[in-house]
Amino acid sequence: MTPRAHFPAMTWLPFTDRAGRISALKLIVFVACCAPAVWLAWRWGAGQHSPKPVTAILRETGDWALRFLAATLAVSPLRHATRWNRVYIVRRMLGLTALCYTLAHLGFWFAHENFRWGAILSESVLRLYLIVGYVGLFLMAVLGATSNEASIRRLGAAGWQRLHWWVYPAALASLAHYFMLIRLDATHAALLAGLCALFAGFRLLRRVRPQFGWLDLLALAVAAGLGTAAIEIGYYAFATGVNASRLIDAHFDFTYQVRPAWWVLAVGLALAVLMAARGSLRRALAP
């Protein structure tokens, strides 16, 4: 086997390990983390944004921040379902990427307001959706600032774990901020909310049933799918006044699109299948 490239003086790079070796997994995830920013920058330079480019990129950086936050929450369920412990090495990178896109989102909001600091301060105090967004940003900033080995040593493993539990309230605040901003199409928001609920439910399941099996994951998948449907139906019923029965019927009409609830259910089922396959493979290989 060809040894991996080894650069002892380059341990500071995000895709190397402590010995300076390039990690293929970290490199792939690093490229994936940077790709949306590169794409947005290219579209900006090529003039391919909408007639309101700042507004467009403001929305897209917010979308990517939530996507990477959901990906961060997905690491623990994936690791537990597959026993692929190495996936943990990219969780910090994903969380910091979510923070970077959140800060970019904030910066483009400042640009959207033409850096009128008096108006920005006034809006920040008076608008509930901004207050909720700032709460999410503050929590993510604290988590990002403590995502290092020095903080783990200072806080201790247990204290650090308790602090980083706040990633779930940060996700909740970010999602609430998102729902307050959307007008009619809640598809993307409902999908991200459902995925975050699925991953948060996984953490709760681990707490109440430390030795849970794939059937428990199966039940969690169904519950998360139903919860996602309830979130989307509830939003549309509240925002538009559409009869809930029509919204329920739309979940079983696959003519134009698959509703978020089905995608969340599919992700949950995939985790359950991976866990079941892991157990079956272990029994098959047992002497």
- Per residue in 97-116, pLDDT tens? 999 999 999 999 999 999 99
What integer is the mean pLDDT of 6-14? Answer: 59
Residue closest to 141 by CA, chosen among 188, 86, 96, 198: 96
User: What pLDDT sits at residue 211?
Assistant: 85
19 confidence band (pLDDT: 50, 70, 90): low
The structure tokens listed for 8 are 């002892």
Pick 7 or 246 by higher pLDDT: 246
The CA dihedral of 27, 28, 34, 38, to the nearest 10 degrees, is: 120
pTM, entire model: 0.90
The yes-or-no verdict on residue 165 having pLDDT over 60 is: yes
Residues 30-41 have pLDDT tens digits of 999 999 999 998
2 confidence band (pLDDT: 50, 70, 90): very low
User: What pLDDT sits at residue 219?
Assistant: 95
Residues 111-157 have pLDDT tens digits of 999 999 999 999 999 999 999 999 999 999 999 999 888 888 898 88
The yes-or-no verdict on residue 16 having pLDDT over 60 is: yes
Pick 251 or 37 by higher pLDDT: 37
What integer is the mean pLDDT of 147-171? Answer: 90
The structure tokens listed for 169 are 């309230």
What integer is the mean pLDDT of 86-94? Answer: 92
196 confidence band (pLDDT: 50, 70, 90): very high
